[in-house]
Amino acid sequence: MPYIGQFEQTRKINRAERRIKENSVPLKRIQQLFLSGELSQEFIQEKIGPIVLSDLIEEHEDAKIRYLLGGFENVFIDKNTNESLIINYFDTLRQLRYIDVKYLHYYAGLENDEKSKYEKNSKEEALYLQIYTKLERLYLIKHASTFDYFDFGPESSEESLRTELTKYGKNFVAFISKEFDVSHYEESIKDREEPEGLLPKLKLTE
């Protein structure tokens, strides 16, 4: 019915206007960076801007807008003109829910551990395991190859998993979050002890 489509369009416009007002400070910074001419205005207007504007309108979770705009601002700050890389970062963000980003930030050392509050076999624990698998599938996190993981997957103990950000995960978190320092993160995990029960590395022979 036509009026349903009109209602949906009005709702999206109202949501976009509200988000613009709520995020006026980062948007003002982005506007100043845009006018500075550090990056081609055509590149922003034709390639990156439409993606950000579309996600600003379509994104269901208000809490994710800070990461969307954070990434957009970093395009200017880093003078990043790698269109494929930028688009891929925004595609990845689009696939994540806010709670997924919070867990990713936990593994990046930016959030507290929420999963320790979950009871064994609870719905919340099941949700966490699903999120872990999603982050792994998107190549944002990786785990140690242990016998424990071979048997139990993401249900293994955290000590056994020894979860870390992947190379892509580190770059992605740095893209959406100003608070993340790659060098500091790498220093923090450098002296971790190897987990027990590591699977032996196979040596292939010709």
| Segment 162-175, tens digit of pLDDT | 788 999 999 999 99
Indicate the average pLDDT of the chain.
83
- Angstrom distance (rounded) from CA 49 to CA 43: 8
Q: Which residues, in sequence order, are CB contacts of 19 under 8 Å at separation 6+?
A: 56, 62, 65
Q: How confident is the model at residue 201, as a pLDDT?
A: 44
Mean pLDDT of 28-43: 91
Model pLDDT, residue 156: 55
| Per-residue model confidence as pLDDT tens digits over 82-100 | 999 999 999 999 999 999 9
pLDDT in tens, 106-124: 999 998 876 666 677 788 8
The dihedral built from the CA positions of residue 77, 83, 85 and 86, taken in this order, carries a sign that is positive
